[in-house]
Amino acid sequence: MAYRVLVTDDVDPEGLALLAAETELLVDEVPTLPKDELLRRIGDYDAIVGRSATKISAELLRAAKKLRVVGRAGVGVDNIALDVATELGVAIINAPAGNTVAVAELFFGTVIGLLRQLPAAALSMQNGVWDRSKLMGRELKGKTLGIVGLGRIGSEVAMRAHAFGMTVVAFDPYIADERFTALRVRRAASLDALIAESNILTMHVPLNDETRGMIGKRELGRLPARSIVVNMARGGIVDEAALLAALEADQLRGAVLDVFTAEPLVADSPLRTAPNLLLTPHLGANTVEAQRNVSRDVCLAVRDALLHNDLSKSINVAGGSGEWGDLQPAMLVARRAAAVARAVLADQGMRAVRRLALRIGPDLAHGAGPLLAAAAAGVLEGVIETDRLNLINARSLAEARGLELSVGESNELGHPRAIEIALAGGMQQLAVAGVAPEDSKPRLTRIGQFHVDVNPRQTLLILTNHDVPGVIGRVGTLLGERKVNIAEYHQARLAQGGDALAAISVDGAVSEETRKALLELPDVLTASVAHFGAE
Ligand SMILES: NC(=O)C1=CN([C@@H]2O[C@H](COP(=O)(O)OP(=O)(O)OC[C@H]3O[C@@H](n4cnc5c(N)ncnc54)[C@H](O)[C@@H]3O)[C@@H](O)[C@H]2O)C=CC1
Ligand SMILES: O=C(O)C(=O)COP(=O)(O)O
């Protein structure tokens, strides 16, 4: 089956060629579409790849019945209704690293341009003027640079600022002290403290509820006299009206804006004629190198998501570390162990699961988020009606049904790559455990108190029976008569003559009628079937 990919917003051809090279991907490249036209067309597509000009609204996502992936050839995802995408199970993939240097270089280009009055100088030369006295500049050396957001771009700016002889201070409550030390950046205790000493204040944070309007009239008023404010992050992080007022009152030396609350900036915006304001039309990422990088990065990840169901690059899988190569077998165990626990409990009359507790061995600790999502998907599969149950929406769908989810690391599971799922509801609970060793196949190792050893393939039959001779033969004969092929049969018991449990891995499906027939066999006490969905 071929997947259709819609590409908007001038995405670099090098990445698109990677998509077009796949026979299973049909790529349609269009210019940035007006909202209504995009809404009309989106229903035909499995993926959309674009940049900041295309708004991926809640309305668009709900209309996009086939959509599985949104690729963003760049960093900021404030143009995407992330919550709705997560609820619908649509993967959001961005290209976080490819344009970092482009923004950092534009920072120095524009700030030096502003300090040395380069736009005015160039214009004066075009106009036949030679006036050096009016074009006196200032240097970066010795000035204090205040960076808000010491992430990828903030860090690159900091490194280059040292080369210019600047003092570098930053405010970022989410970054550890070690990173500040490694970058030789002094940590400001608060945003206010940073503002109070910044000759140049620059914003490198995402736009969200915490950062919208972060620099307003009050903050601008607290900057040292004759400071410069730079916003290359997102429009609205620096309040445009307050900035305009501060520039008109000659309170600042100047400002640089590359991003605007509404883009494109309207032709008659008062910002266009404000004094000492250097404007660029969202050029931060506009270099040949950056566009090639982000296009390649995002297209590869979109390809892998569509063709190989690899969601490791989706930013809306909670806790994803980005590297899932070693986690896939563990995710399979988590999902299947949860499905087994749910099936067995349902046959004991417990249909409403209330709690899912995941415990993982230390070598899987980095995958806690995706593993919990996989376990949630295992509990829900076959229970809820959705054709888009996946690692992206499983946790939110489970929580919406009142299921409490938790995950913890444990050294007591007997293997560093062990996984245990405990489901509970009412008075009942059941734990199912497994392992995902690096060098052998994933196995289920425990169902309740019974030790088993079975590779959970397409379908697992779980029987409990009296531990008496003849049961295995009768079960095998019944399944054989019904053309159910047994791949593995693992019999476990707690004590001779007590209860026993059989974990039987079979090919294909086991009908409800076959399950009932198994229950009719002498000495069989319970029979549960876990059909595993697609991986
Ligand atoms: N002008 C342009 O063309 C471009 C603009 N951008 C913008 O730059 C932003 C930053 O990009 P990256 O550095 O790659 O992202 P990043 O995620 O590496 O860094 C963002 C940093 O902001 C920090 N942060 C978040 N909330 C904060 C708060 N309330 N106070 C202080 N710090 C806070 C985070 O801890 C993080 O370290 C993007 O979100 C995007 O909006 C990115 C690329 C191009
Ligand atoms: O990557 C980002 O966040 C940017 O702001 C770049 O946006 P663009 O892809 O140039 O529309």
Who has greater pLDDT, 400 or 19?
Answer: 19
Task: Name which of 439, 457, 438, 463 is nearest 518 in CA terms.
Answer: 463
Pocket test for ligand 1, best of 82, 155, 194, 205 (most atoms within 8 A of CB): 205
Q: Which of 359, 370, 365, 389 is nearest to 532 (CA)?
A: 389
More confident residue, 496 or 5: 5
Q: pTM of the entire structure?
A: 0.86
Q: In this predicted structure, what is the pLDDT of residue 323?
A: 66
Among protein residues, the one with the nearest Cα to ligand 1's atom 8 is 233
Q: Which fold has domain 3-98+290-308?
A: Rossmann fold (3.40.50)
Active site residue 282: yes
Lowest mean pLDDT among 213-217, 253-257, 381-385: 381-385
pLDDT category of residue 384 using cuts at 50, 70 and 90: confident
Q: How many angstroms separate the most distant Cα atoms in the chain?
A: 106
Active site residue 263: yes
At residue 294 the predicted structure's pLDDT band, cuts being 50, 70 and 90, is very high
Please check the confidence at residue 321 and state whether its pLDDT lies above 60.
Answer: no
| Residue 309 confidence (pLDDT) | 86
- State the angle between helix axes of 152-163 and 100-115 in degrees (0 to 180), rounded to the nearest 10: 50
Task: Share the mean pLDDT of the chain.
Answer: 94
Alpha-carbon distance of 188 to 201, in angstroms, equals 13
Coil, helix or strand at residue 165: coil
Report which bound ligand comes closest to the CA of 291.
2
Instruction: Tell me, yes or no, if the two domains 3-98+290-308 and 100-279 fold the same way.
Output: yes
Q: Of 187, 204, 282, 342, which is the active-site residue?
A: 282
The protein residue with its alpha carbon nearest to ligand 1, atom 1, reads 284
Q: Structure tokens of 420?
A: 């245990």
Q: Whose atoms come closest to the Cα of 101: which ligand?
A: 1
Residue 290 has pLDDT above 90, yes or no: yes
What distance in Å separates the CA atoms of residue 421 and residue 380, rounded to the nearest whole number?
14
Question: Which CATH superfamily, name and number, covers 100-279?
Answer: NAD(P)-binding Rossmann-like Domain (3.40.50.720)
pLDDT of residue 533: 65
The CATH class for the domain spanning 325-531 reads: alpha beta
- Return the pLDDT at 318: 66
Q: Is 235 in the pocket of ligand 2 (CB under 6 A)?
A: no
Please work out whether the CB of residue 113 comes within 6 Å of at least one atom of ligand 2.
no
Output DSSP code: residue 21. T
Mutate to test the pocket of ligand 2, among 8, 9, 70, 75 (most ligand atoms within 8 A of CB): 75
Residues 255, 277 contacting (CB under 8 angstroms): yes
State the catalytic residue, choosing from 160, 234, 303, 342: 234
Query: How remote is the CA of residue 232 from the centroid of ligand 2, in Å?
Result: 10
**In which residue are the tokens 């214009």 written?**
123
Q: What is the pLDDT of residues 81-102, one digit of tens each?
A: 999 999 899 999 999 999 999 9
pLDDT band at 352 (very low <50, low <70, confident <90, very high): confident
- The rounded Å distance from CA 259 to ligand 2 centre is 10
What pLDDT digit, counting tens, does each position of 398-444 carry?
988 889 999 999 999 999 999 999 999 878 899 999 999 999 999 99
**Residues 184-202: what's their mean pLDDT?**
98
Q: What is the pLDDT of residue 8?
A: 97
Straight-line distance from the first to the last Cα atom of the chain, in angstroms, rounded to the nearest whole number:
18
Q: Apex CA 96: angle with CA 93 and CA 99, to 5°?
A: 130
Residue 308 bears catalytic tag: no
Higher pLDDT, 290 or 326: 290
* Structural tokens at position 8: 């908007």
Return the pLDDT at 320. Answer: 52
Query: Which residue ranges make up each domain of the chain?
Result: 3-98+290-308, 100-279, 325-531
99 lines ligand 2 (CB under 6 A): yes
